[in-house]
Structures are given as C-alpha cells and as structure tokens.
Structure 1
Amino acid sequence: PYVYLRQVFKELPAAQTLAQIEALLPWNLNADSLKAA
C-alpha cells in the first residue's frame, strides 16, 4: 500500500483530466509500474 500511495500522491497534483485521475486507481496500475517508481 505504501508504494501505491506514494505513486498516487506524486502524480495526482499533475492530473488534469478525469482519465488521468482514473489511471491512478488501484486496478489501473500494475505492479511493474509501481516497482519502477
């Protein structure tokens, strides 16, 4: 959960559209993208 939340809090301020916000939902992120962050 920590890695996911860190990623969301890093990217959420820059999200400008609903699609960008929805891309940050847990079921839209994969484990590989979280490990690389």
Structure 2
Amino acid sequence: MSAITPVTDGNDMNLNFAFACMIVVSFTIALVHT
C-alpha cells in the first residue's frame, strides 16, 4: 500500500481512512477516560 493511489480507489481509501481514524480516536478517548 503506497500513499499514491489510483483515482478509482479514492472513495474506498477515504472510507477506510475515516473508519480507521474513528477507531483510533474512540480507542484513545477510552484510554484517556479510564
């Protein structure tokens, strides 16, 4: 997986990136609030 991706994969990469960010953020918040 490289940073530069075909235009066709733009949507999928954005969705995956947003999903990963959501998981990381929620996990960090859970750790901080513990």
Fold agreement, TM-score > 0.5: no
Name the TM-score class by shorter chain. 0.3 to 0.5
Using the size of structure 1 for normalisation, the TM-score is: 0.34
Using the size of structure 2 for normalisation, the TM-score is: 0.36
Which structure has more relative contact order (CA 8 Å, sep 6+)? It is: 1
Look at both structures and tell me which one has the larger radius of gyration over its CA atoms.
Answer: 2
